[in-house]
Structure 1
Amino acid sequence: MGIDAPFGARAAKALAKRGPLCVGIDPHSQLLRAWGLDDTVAGAERFAMTMVEALAGQVAFIKPQSAFFERFGSAGIALLERVIAAARHGGSLVIVDAKRGDIGSTAYAYAQAYLDPSSPLAGDAVTASPFLGVGSLRPMFDMAAAHHRGVFVLALTSNPEGVQVQRARRKDGRTVAQSIIDEIGDANADTEPMGSLGVVVGATVGAARGEQDSRGYGVTHSAVQTGETAHDLSALNGPILVPGMGTQGGKPEDLRRVLGTAASQAIPSYSREIARHGPSAPGLRQAASQAGDQCRQQLGR
C-alpha cells in the first residue's frame, strides 16, 4: 500500500504491521548534552540522524518536533528536511509536529509547506492548532485529502493552561474540545478502515468512563474524563496521537483509561523516554521495542 492510499489506511496498516509506537525526535539542549553533544546544529544532526537510523525501520511513526530544529535557523530547517526524508525512506510514517494554524492564504501556505509532496518539509501528516476555529484548517484538510496525507488536530492537551479554553462549555453543553472531536469525526464519517484526520489527546488528561458527567452531559463507553467533564471519542473514526508517554508521566496502562474503546486508534508517542537510551543504536532499538510491546499488550494488538 503506497502513497496513493489515504493516510488513514496507511496508518492502519502501519499499526497492524509494526505496532502503535510513535517516537518523537526532539533535539533540545538537555538531550544533546546528555548524549555528550554540543548544542549546535551539528550536535542536533548527530542526535536526530542517529535516532532515525536506529528506529525508522522498526517503529510505525516518527514525529520530529519542528521547534527544536527551527531554533537553529535555516540550517535547522534544512536538517528537519533531511530527517523527514530519511525517516520516510526508512519506512516510518512521519508526523511533523509543527502545530500550525491560521486563516485564509496563510493556512493554505502552511498546507503547502507540510502536506504538498513538492515541499521538502512535507511528511505523512502534520499537527495543527484549531483555536482559530476548526473551519480555519480547511485548506490543510483539503491539501491532505488531495495528496493522501493526514492532519492531527489539537483537542485535549495535558498542559494546565489548556483547561480554560479546551474545557470551556458552549451553549449546547459540549466543551470546546468535544466540538473539535465531533467536527473531525464528522469529516471522517463512513471512511474505512479509518479517516485521515485525527486528534491529539495528551496521555495524562484523565480517565475513561461510560456515564453522565456531573452536569448531565451524556457520554458513551469511549470517553476521556477530565476532572468533572467527560469527552466522547467513540465516533472519531480516526487516529489519536497521544503525546506525553514515558518521562512526561503517561503509561501504557493509561491508554484505555484515557481513550476507552477508541484506544484501538491510539498512536502513543514517546520522546525522552526513548532518546535517553542513546547514543547507542542498540539501546534506542531495545527501548523502543520494550515501549512498543508494553503498549501493544495494553491495547490488545
Structure 2
Amino acid sequence: MISVLTIVKGRANALHNLLKGLETNSILPDQLVVVFMNEPIRELPTFPFPIRCYNIIESAHLPLAAARNLAAEKADGDFLIFLDVDCIPSETLIADYQAHQDSNALLSGEVRYLRSGATAQDDFLSAMEVFSDPDPIRSDMDVIPYSLFWSLNFACQKTIYQKIGGFDEGYKGYGAEDTDFSFSAEKMQVPLQHVSAKAYHQYHESFSPPLNHLKDIIGNANRFYQKWKKWPMEGWLKAFKNMNLIDWDERKITFKRKPADEEILAALKK
C-alpha cells in the first residue's frame, strides 16, 4: 500500500495543483495524508483516492519535523512518498517510486523548478517540463551525497523511516532538519539511492540568503553542530556573518542583529 504524505501551511493553490498532479498519475496513491501546520484543517475537494487530514499547532515555529513524523505515523501504507506542498508530481512519479518500493534504501527523487507564471498557463500540467528548469546543484548527479539530501521529494518503506528515527523534532522551523534526517540514515547504514521520480516545484517568492528564517537557521545550525560536529548550511551562515548578522566561531553561532528591511528586500530572488 502506497501513502503519499504532504505538510501544509497556507499554499492553497499549490496544494490543489499537487492534488491535480496526483490525479493524473499513471498509478493512483492508495491514500494521501495531509498535515496542516499552525492552522485549522481545511476542507478539500473529492479526488479519486482517499485523503486524510490532520493538523499540528506549535505557535512559535513552523513544526516541519513534527508534521512529517505525524504524517508518517498516521499513514496506513507500508511505502511512504513524501512530497513538499509546492511540488507537483510527474505522471509517472508513483510508478517510478513503486519500482523501488522493495528497496531498503532512502529514495531521493528529482526536482525541476517551474518558472514564475507557469501554473497560470492553460493545461500547464501537460507542459511542466517545458515550463521548468533543472535543479542547478543535483540535476547532473547519479549519486546524491547524504549532505545534499532534500526533503522536497523522497520515499522509503515505513520500516526504514522508523529505523532512521524519523525527523528530529528538536529542530524548530526552517533549516537543517532534512540534512539531519539523511545523516541519521547514514549512521543507521541506510543507503541513499537516486531515483528518477520527478516532481515540479511551483514558483514562489524566496530569499537568498533566507533572511526571513534567520533565527530558525541559527538555532537549527547550532543543534546540528552539537549532534554531528559539522556545520550545515555553510553558504547561508557565511552570508549572515558577512552581513554582520551573526557571530560564528568554531563551536557556536550567536545572533547579533535583525536584518534591515532594505537588506531583506535586496535578498529577494528576482
What band does the TM-score fall into relative to the shorter chain? under 0.3
Where is the helix percentage greater, Structure 1 or Structure 2? 1
Q: With structure 2 as the length reference, what TM-score do the two structures score?
A: 0.25
Q: With structure 1 as the length reference, what TM-score do the two structures score?
A: 0.23
Where is the strand percentage greater, Structure 1 or Structure 2? 2
